[in-house]
């Protein structure tokens, strides 16, 4: 292979055209556009005029053309595993958009198929893993600088969407077309980061509102409580109807705390000792000082504010560059494709808990989830019911 990976962009809507522009503008120096696949004829004509590369009517034609070394799947969520498998089956490297799929059975099949082809690169577009702020936070947590995690909280409601957003296409905000609402559309990055940094929980209990503040069938507000085991818990709150929105992540450990505001800055508190040691070592004189506000906080902890400049587009283009680098020289992936199942599993568990009305383990019965999903698809009466992976190969 030459010094550049020929990328096939499958789907040329907002996301696919953005990636094309990044490549055209030189933001991904080890990649070039090999071909585009788009079902809409007007969009195909515009892509041909703009980029001068082969533009195919469907992904099968693109994969068979020999025009590309790799593809990215910027298509509706249900199609990500199907196209990922088809690409790998053709010997083409695959970068799957988030979420990796809608339900774990199809994502598991994608992962298993990819595992049979270790010679091919399989990645997922978790661009927030390329955010230097969250990379630094993960380093701090992994190094044990705040001790063992005792509680996490993430309020991420910066997804305000007006009703017109949902009316732009018939598949949007449907069970059969999109597979869910805020959990599968807006919040997958946070679901991934939450588990990437804090660990995969053991179980979840959720209260989810469907069509609460928008005229849609799927979820527009979510409150979920997770159990990590050993007394550690976490909460995740997200919605699409908060006009001003909040983005605040707190990670409390037994030796410190991290508070992230707006995904732009983090205040890191490091205790001088484990919190229980500080507690056990205080007598009543110390307690009086504490109550009177006379205790020197520097005797208990230090604080650091972490901030990074994040250029728009750098995170997405960085994932594309990293994907190409893995193909060309084996550079480790920022986001291996197999990690995509974690966020899908948690989103499925949140849905399932709300549908069944009780706490569910993260190793829930995939068939139960799919049966419940198909109930909702049947009630819409618009889209076919789903199975593990029909006709992907």
Q: Kindly report which listed range (140-144, 289-293, 327-331, 371-375) carries the lowest average pLDDT score.
A: 289-293
pLDDT at 16 over 60: yes
Beta-carbon contacts of 328 under 8 Å, excluding residues fewer than 6 positions away, are 1, 3, 5, 30
Run of H or E residues at 109: helix 104-115
- Which of 46-60, 280-294, 319-333 shows the lowest mean pLDDT across its residues? 280-294
Say what percent of the chain tops pLDDT 90: 93
Q: How far apart are CA 291 and CA 95, in angstroms?
A: 55
Under the banding of pLDDT at 50, 70 and 90, the label for residue 309 is confident
Question: What burial class does residue 56 get, using C-beta atoms within 10 Å of its C-beta: 0-12 exposed, 13-18 middle, 19+ buried?
Answer: buried
Q: Output the pLDDT for position 391.
A: 45
Q: What is the pLDDT of residue 392?
A: 45
Per-residue confidence (pLDDT) for residue 19, from 0 to 100: 98
- pLDDT above 80: residue 393: no
Position 286 scores a pLDDT of 86
Cα 94–Cα 99–Cα 100 angle in degrees, nearest 5? 40
Paired sense of beta strands 256-261 and 247-253, if any: antiparallel
- Please determine, for residue 236, whether its predicted confidence score (pLDDT) is greater than 70: yes
The model's pTM is: 0.94
pLDDT above 70: percentage of residues in the chain: 98
Tell which wins on pLDDT, 389 or 378.
378
User: Domains in the chain, ordered, with CATH?
Assistant: 5-125+313-336 (3.40.50.720), 129-307 (3.30.360.10)
Q: Which residues contact 149 (CB under 8 A, 6 or more apart)?
A: 141, 198, 199, 228, 232, 251, 252, 253
The confidence score (pLDDT) of residue 352 equals: 98
Tell me what the mean pLDDT of segment 106-121 comes to. Answer: 98
Q: Per residue, what are the HEC states of 55-77?
A: EECCHHHHHHHCCCCEEEECCCC
Secondary structure class of 322 (helix, strand, coil) = helix
* Tens digit of each residue's pLDDT (9 = 90 or more) over 354-376: 999 999 999 999 999 999 999 99
- CA distance to 298, 310, 378, per residue, from 251 (Å): 21, 22, 40
pLDDT at residue 290, rounded to an integer: 87
Mean pLDDT to the nearest integer, 205-221: 98
pLDDT 10s digits, 164-175: 999 988 999 999
- Report how far residue 78's alpha carbon sits from residue 195's, in angstroms, rounded to the nearest whole number: 22
| Residue 222 main-chain phi, psi, to 5 deg | -140, 135
N-term to C-term CA, the chain: 26
Mean of the per-residue pLDDT values for the chain? 95
What pLDDT does 2 receive?
62
pLDDT, tens digit (0-9, with 9 covering 90-100), for 82-92: 999 999 999 99
Give the contacts of 135 (CB within 8 A, at least 6 positions apart).
129
For residue 47, give the 3-state DSSP assignment. helix
Residue 47 CA to residue 44 CA, distance in Å, equals 5
Split at pLDDT 50, 70, 90, the class of 206 is: very high
CA–CA dist 107, 29 (Å, integer): 31
Q: How confident is the model over 234-252, as a mean pLDDT?
A: 98
Work out the burial of residue 227: count CB atoms within 10 Å of its CB; fewer than 13 is exposed, 13-18 middle, 19 or more buried.
middle
Q: pLDDT at position 1, please? A: 61
In this predicted structure, the answer to whether residue 351 has a pLDDT above a threshold of 80 is: yes
Does residue 131 carry a pLDDT above 50? Answer: yes
Give the model's confidence band at 388: pLDDT under 50 very low, under 70 low, under 90 confident, else very high. low
Average pLDDT over residues 244-258: 98
Residue 323, both tokens: 């994907």
Say yes or no to pLDDT of 127 above 50.
yes
Whether 389 shows a pLDDT value over 90: the answer reads no
């Amino acid at each position: 292979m030459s010094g550049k990976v020929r990328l096939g962009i499958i789907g040329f809507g907002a996301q696919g055209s953005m990636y094309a522009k990044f490549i055209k503008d030189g933001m991904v120096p080890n990649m070039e556009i090999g071909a585009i696949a788009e079902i809409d004829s007007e969009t195909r004509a515009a892509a041909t005029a703009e980029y001068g590369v082969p533009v195919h009517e469907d992904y099968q034609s693109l994969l068979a053309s020999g025009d590309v070394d790799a593809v990215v799947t910027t298509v509706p969520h249900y199609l990500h595993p199907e196209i990922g498998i088809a690409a790998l089956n053709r010997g083409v490297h695959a970068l799957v958009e988030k979420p990796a799929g809608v339900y774990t059975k199809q994502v598991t099949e994608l992962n298993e198929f990819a595992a049979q082809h270790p010679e091919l690169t399989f990645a997922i577009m978790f661009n927030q893993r390329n955010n230097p702020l969250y990379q630094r936070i993960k380093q701090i947590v992994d190094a044990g600088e705040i001790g063992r995690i005792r509680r996490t909280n993430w309020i991420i409601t910066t997804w305000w969407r007006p009703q017109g957003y949902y009316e732009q296409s018939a598949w949007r905000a449907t069970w059969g077309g999109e597979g869910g609402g805020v959990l599968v559309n807006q919040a997958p990055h946070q679901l991934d980061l939450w588990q990437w940094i804090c660990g995969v929980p053991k179980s979840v209990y959720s209260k989810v509102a469907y069509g609460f503040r928008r005229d849609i069938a799927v979820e527009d507000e979510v409150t979920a409580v997770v159990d990590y085991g050993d007394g550690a818990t976490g909460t995740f709150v997200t919605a699409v109807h908060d006009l001003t929105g909040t983005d605040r992540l707190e990670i409390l450990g037994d030796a410190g705390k991290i508070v992230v505001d707006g995904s732009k800055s983090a205040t890191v508190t490091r205790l001088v000792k484990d919190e229980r040691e500080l507690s056990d070592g205080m007598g009543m004189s110390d307690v009086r000082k504490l109550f009177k506000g006379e205790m020197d906080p520097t005797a208990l902890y230090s604080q650091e504010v972490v901030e990074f400049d994040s250029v728009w587009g750098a995170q997405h283009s960085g994932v594309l560059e990293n994907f190409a680098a893995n193909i060309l020289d084996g550079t480790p992936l920022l986001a291996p494709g197999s990690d995509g199942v974690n966020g899908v599993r948690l989103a499925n568990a949140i849905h399932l808990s709300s549908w069944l009305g009780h706490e569910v383990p993260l190793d829930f019965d995939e068939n139960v989830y799919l049966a419940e999903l198909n109930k909702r698809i049947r009630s819409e009466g618009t889209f076919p019911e789903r199975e593990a992976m029909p006709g992907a190969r």
